Amino acid sequence: MNVPKPIKKIAISPFLIFEDWVASGLRLSGQTLLMLLHTIKYILRGEIDWPEVWRQCYFIGVNSFVVVAITAIFTGFAMSLQIARELVLFGADTAIGGVVSLALIREIGPITAGVMVAGRVGSAIAAELTTMMVTEQIDALTVMRIDPVQFLVVPRYIAAMLMVPALSTYAMFIGLLAGIQIAHGAANLPVETFLDSVKQTILDRDFSVHFTKAWINATIIIMFSCAIGLNTRGGAEDVGIATTRSIVWTMVMIFIFNFIVTSLTYAPR
């Protein structure tokens, strides 16, 4: 006769969960910072595998065009529709173009591209590097005196620094076209009026903020994904865990640094 085993009760404390989350975040941030410094060292030395950089540019940039475009189009549609309706109620329909373009340049463009690249590219990098760790391919590189950071991280980082700003600009442009379409259809706003409002509102510093956020997003995506992948050991289950951690941490850090940059660059217009 089989006697069922008693079920053990697991005491879950919110404080312990928060403490573990903070400790894990601090550990990961330290690993990421060290990897970034190590990567910059190789870049300054010029020890770069350029053919691998171009291959990663295709993977990170070209393969992300469709998903970024779809996201930017419908984000632009929804945002422009809401802004257009509110401004029309206040009789400020001529300001629609300036408000929409300002949101796209400073916030929506970098965030849209960053989140999409984090979900598509960051997760793939974390899964790939974790698999290489689990199958001891990283150990084989070390035995052959090949630094995994130089071989795996540097090309991906340079490619991301080139392609993520391009994707952010692409998302901004697509969202602007969507905004023009919605403003014309929902508020009967002529295209010329929309573009005049854009010219009067947008300043050079807005583009500086845009590219600063894009480069920070690129750094976060590659460094956190690679740090998680190269510091994970175990079995097949850990590949999925590392992929999930990569997506969660990169997106959280993208939004945190987006707020930091916005707060530091905010100034009355």
User: Residue 269 has what pLDDT?
Assistant: 61
pLDDT value of position 7: 52
Percent with pLDDT over 70 in the chain = 93
pLDDT-based confidence at residue 174 (cuts at 50, 70, 90) = very high
- Which range has highest mean pLDDT (35-44, 85-94, 228-237)? 35-44
Task: State how far the alpha carbon of 254 is from the alpha carbons of 8, 51, 95, 221, 236, in Å.
Answer: 39, 29, 29, 8, 28
Q: Which of 1-15, 52-66, 68-82 has the lowest mean pLDDT?
A: 1-15
38 vs 88, residue with greater confidence: 38
Q: To which H or E segment does residue 144 belong?
A: none
Give the Cα separation of 80 and 71 in Å (integer): 14
Q: In the chain, what percentage of residues exceed pLDDT 90?
A: 51
| Residues in Cβ contact with 186 at an 8 Å cutoff, skipping those fewer than 6 apart | 80, 81, 84, 85
What pLDDT shows up at residue 1? 47
Instruction: Please report where in the chains the tokens 């509102």 appear, as a residue.
Output: 201
Range in 55-69, 84-98, 250-264 the model is least confident about: 84-98
Residue 210, token pair as written in the block: 């845009």
Q: Is pLDDT at 82 greater than 50 in this prediction?
A: yes
pLDDT at 241 over 70: yes
148 in Cβ contact with 141 (< 8 Å)? yes
How does pLDDT run across 117-148, given as a tens digit for each residue?
Answer: 999 999 999 999 998 888 888 888 888 888 99
Contacts of 206 (CB under 8 A, 6+ apart): 102, 105, 106
Residue 135: the pLDDT is 86
Residue 2: the pLDDT is 53
pTM of the predicted protein model:
0.88
User: Is residue 222 predicted with pLDDT exceeding 80?
Assistant: yes
CB 80 within 8 A of CB 138: no
